[in-house]
């Protein structure tokens, strides 16, 4: 299960390493107190849960394929989260740091563009605003996330130091 | 035949409910159903063509023909993370 209605269990993610791992890279996305100058007191995350589970599995498997040796774990929370609470955690373990960093970055960028999860920023007066990024999602026009993302130059291995 | 339509985020607010069962004629495509829904919910009209859609939890295309019992979801721009 990649989605959770409970707080993300970071220690559990960190406990899952292999003897061959020499690097552990953890990305944690947390709820920020503002967005474009507008105060935010909480964020409500909603997901198309059945599809999001499949898409998150797809992200984890495909990133591991793109970066051999990387072991990818993802946990995304849904429901109402207060400022400072982790909304997503991506943990990548690998024999070496270059792979761990790159795979972790690819996983979060891919997740943000393709997985059917939405967030509503809650203002101090209790009103809410759904966040709708202007960049078209890779889900648009029936394009497959795999081909679009993996062949996007910004994620290619050769561009990394 | 019948399909189940799911709404999320801003679409759910606009539709006023999370899901509904819809009676559609055979041969209805994903884009055709969106056009029908857009006539009833004006807020859907802000998408010039059709938003990304999924049939039975898989990403699909506008000209995909719906089958009886399908689960159809029209997806607003995603914003996870």
Q: Where are the domains of chain B?
A: 2-74
CB contact A116 to B (< 8 Å): yes
Domain range enclosing A58: 3-143
Residue of B nearest to A107 (CA): B81
Model confidence band, residue A41 (pLDDT cutoffs 50, 70, 90)? very high
A152 lies in some domain: no
Q: Do B80 and A130 touch (CB under 8 A)?
A: no
Nearest to A133 among B51, B61, B79 (CB): B79
Helix A49-66 and helix A97-114, axial crossing angle in degrees, nearest 10: 150
Give pLDDT, residue A135.
60
Q: What is the mean pLDDT of residues A115-142?
A: 82
Strand-pair partners of A21? none
Q: Report the CATH number that the domain containing residue A62 is assigned in CATH.
A: 3.90.1170.40
- Nearest-Cα distance to chain B for A77, in Å, is 9
Tell me how many domains chain A contains.
1
pLDDT at A147 over 50: no
Q: How many CB atoms lie within 10 A of CB A124?
A: 10
ipTM for the predicted complex comes to 0.96
Q: Do B78 and A115 touch (CB under 8 A)?
A: yes
A154 lies in some domain: no
Give pLDDT, residue A151.
46
Class of domain B2-74: alpha beta
DSSP chain A: --EESSPP-HHHHHT---TT--EEEEEEEE--SEETTEE-SEEEEEE-HHHHHHHHHHHHHHHHHHSTT-EEEEEEE-EEEETT-EEEEEEEEESSHHHHHHHHHHHHHHHHHHS-EEEEEEPTTS-EEE---SSPPTTGGG--HHHHHHT-GGG-GGG--
Tens digit of pLDDT at every position of chain B (81 positions): 999 999 999 999 999 999 999 999 999 999 999 999 999 999 998 877 899 999 999 999 999 999 999 999 999 999 999
């Amino acid at each position: 299960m990649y989605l959770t209605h409970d707080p993300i269990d970071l220690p559990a993610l960190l406990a899952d390493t292999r003897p061959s791992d020499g690097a552990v890279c953890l990305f944690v996305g947390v709820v920020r107190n503002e967005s474009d100058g507008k105060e935010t007191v909480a964020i409500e995350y909603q997901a198309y849960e059945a599809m999001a589970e499949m898409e998150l599995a797809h992200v984890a498997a495909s990133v591991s394929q793109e970066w051999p040796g990387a072991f990818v774990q993802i946990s995304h929370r849904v429901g109402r989260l207060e400022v400072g609470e982790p909304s997503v955690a991506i943990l990548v373990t690998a024999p070496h740091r270059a792979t761990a960093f790159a795979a972790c970055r690819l996983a979060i960028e891919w997740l943000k563009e393709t997985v059917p999860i939405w967030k509503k920023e809650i203002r101090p007066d209790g009103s809410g605003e759904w966040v709708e990024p202007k960049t078209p999602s890779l889900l648009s026009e029936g394009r497959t996330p795999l081909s679009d993302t993996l062949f996007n130059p910004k994620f290619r291995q050769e561009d990394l130091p | 035949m019948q399909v189940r339509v799911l709404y999320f985020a801003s679409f759910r607010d606009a539709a006023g409910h999370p899901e509904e069962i819809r009676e559609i004629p055979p041969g209805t495509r994903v884009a055709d159903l969106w056009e029908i829904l857009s006539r009833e919910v004006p807020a859907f009209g802000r998408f010039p063509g059709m938003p990304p859609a999924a049939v039975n939890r898989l990403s699909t295309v506008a000209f995909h023909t719906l089958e009886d019992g399908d689960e159809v979801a029209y997806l607003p721009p995603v914003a996870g993370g």
